[in-house]
Amino acid sequence: MNIVDIINKTKRSLPLSDAEINWMVKSFTEGGIPDYQMAAWLMAVCLNGLTESETLALTYAMRDSGDTLELDIPMTVDKHSTGGIGDKTTLIVGPAAAACGLCVAKMSGRGLGFTGGTIDKLESIRGLRTDLSTDKFTEILKTTGFSVISQSETLCPADKKIYALRNATGTVDSIPLICASIMSKKLATNADCLLLDVKWGSGAFMKKRDDAERLAALMERIGKAAGKKCRAVVTDMNTPLGDNVGNALEVKEALEILRGEKKGALYDLCTELTAQLLELAGKGEHDACLKMAAQAISSGKALDVFRRTIALQGGDARVCDDLSLLPAASNSYRLRAVCDMEILSVNSEEIGMTSLLLGAGRLTSDDIPDMSAGIVINCKPGDILSAGDTIMTFYSSVCSDFTETAFRGLNAIRFRSIEEGSSE
């Protein structure tokens, strides 16, 4: 076999055999295929796609490039989100599902760009560690039913290398490649039940709902073909999820929901995702599972799961009862309405880019985010604000001049001036 023949076949939309895909992934991972040739194949995939059988073979080859997580636990579940602005659902769904009797074993990554990673959020809790051994991970799961650890260097090394090349060559936006990247990692973590939350909208990979639905359907079929109980749902990421964006701020909002102090769209989505996970795991019909999810939060059981998990992962569990123990920004700025206005929309991508200016994200994998930085959005579409009311509040310990931030943040808001009857 040789890579030139493989590139030419994909360029001409001729299907590759499983053996060709296995050889290519193995050779590239081991350094036998140079970046420029792999990049040529990835571009051919972006232009011509892959068949479903090719996508499954690619997923398996990437999964088998490294270790597979083997836990001494009868059944585990996982909820995966394709990510977006303010997405802290794992911090709520995981404890709630565990409080209902499931074992939620999750391996997550750090954020790159303006989308925050679950690991970054958790590590804003003082002392909490996510670099746990498999034995420690298993011990926590058997004790609380919920744990999140950082991705292993030996898990799907092919995906790590291929994704870095995709990011550098403009070949990220391919549904087969996105599917293989996500599903290879999910299959390597080896959960028995897998719920996939596929986002669409301005703050998501998939800008169009149709594309998100195609990706969701493909990932669900790949998961089922691999022998997993798998379900994909498509959810909206045109508006930020919840009010808070930024690592410690998102932990704060998640805790407010687990403490029973806050509801709204984020709470509704989290209880729905928890119910879907419970139903997938055979805990009952949907309506009954939805009630179980709501009760797990209202009873305080989900909060107790999170508290005990934080402690077992070395974190300061007092944060569950005292939110002031989270990192606090040294600087803040309120963006206020200059006239009476109706909020028409809040653009997720622009909010994400604004949070990046504050230091909440990272431009390269070596950047260290400001855990205290972020945005609290003080309004939502449909709200009527009077002149002087706060639109959003910026927080940062590394930024003190909020001029550019305020301009970018205002650009994220589409509103109608009530006095003039115009929209911006």
Q: pLDDT tens for residues 86-133?
A: 999 999 999 999 999 999 999 887 765 565 688 999 999 999 999 999
- The dihedral built from the CA positions of residue 178, 181, 187 and 191, taken in this order, carries a sign that is negative
For residues 340-360, give the mean pLDDT: 93
Which of 63, 80, 228, 231 is flagged as catalytic? 80
Residue 414: what pLDDT? Answer: 95
pLDDT at 150 over 90: no
- Fold match between domain 77-152+172-320 and domain 329-423: no
Residue of 72, 62, 258 lying closest to 163 (CA atoms) = 62
* Cα separation, 209 vs 204, whole angstroms: 10
Contact, 124 vs 371, CB < 8 A? yes
What are the boundaries of each domain within the chain? 3-49, 77-152+172-320, 329-423
pLDDT at 424 over 80: no
Residue of 178, 139, 147, 144 lying closest to 162 (CA atoms) = 178
pLDDT at 232 over 80: yes
Confidence of residue 215 (pLDDT cuts 50, 70, 90): very high
Which of 87, 159, 236, 243 is flagged as catalytic? 159
Determine whether domain 329-423 maps to CATH 3.40.50.1400. no
Most confident option among 28-42, 113-127, 199-213, 354-368: 28-42
* Cα separation, 157 vs 209, whole angstroms: 30
Annotation marks residue 372 as catalytic: no
Most confident option among 23-32, 102-111, 156-165: 23-32
Average pLDDT, the chain: 93
pLDDT at 148 over 90: yes
Can you point out the beta strands (E) in 49-191? 77-81, 104-108, 146-150
Residue 84: what pLDDT? Answer: 83
Which of 79, 121, 161, 185 is flagged as catalytic? 185
pLDDT in tens, 182-193: 999 899 989 999
pLDDT at 422 over 70: no
* Cα separation, 188 vs 383, whole angstroms: 45
Residue 43: what pLDDT? Answer: 97
Question: Which of 63-77, 219-233, 295-309, 356-370 has the least mean pLDDT?
Answer: 356-370
Which of 63, 110, 160, 166 is flagged as catalytic? 166
Annotation marks residue 185 as catalytic: yes
Question: Which of 148-157, 259-268, 342-351, 356-365 has the least mean pLDDT?
Answer: 356-365
Output DSSP code: residue 206: B
Residue 420: what pLDDT? Answer: 54
Residue 113: what pLDDT? Answer: 58
Residue 298: what pLDDT? Answer: 98
pLDDT at 408 over 80: yes
Phi-psi region of 204 (alpha: psi -120 to 50; beta: other; left: phi over 0): beta
Question: Quick one: CATH architecture of 77-152+172-320?
Answer: 3-Layer(aba) Sandwich (3.40)
Contact, 184 vs 63, CB < 8 A? yes
Annotation marks residue 80 as catalytic: yes
CA–chain centroid gap for 317, Å, is 23
Annotation marks residue 166 as catalytic: yes
Which of 181, 202, 348, 355 is flagged as catalytic? 181
Output DSSP code: residue 151: P
CA–chain centroid gap for 29, Å, is 25
CA–chain centroid gap for 142, Å, is 25
- By percentage, how much of the chain surpasses pLDDT 90? 83
Residue 16: what pLDDT? Answer: 97
Residue 365: what pLDDT? Answer: 66
Phi-psi region of 260 (alpha: psi -120 to 50; beta: other; left: phi over 0): left
- By percentage, how much of the chain surpasses pLDDT 70? 97
Annotation marks residue 78 as catalytic: no
* Cα separation, 361 vs 421, whole angstroms: 37
Confidence of residue 151 (pLDDT cuts 50, 70, 90): confident
pLDDT in tens, 273-325: 999 999 999 999 999 999 999 999 999 999 999 999 999 999 999 999 999 99
Contact, 376 vs 415, CB < 8 A? no
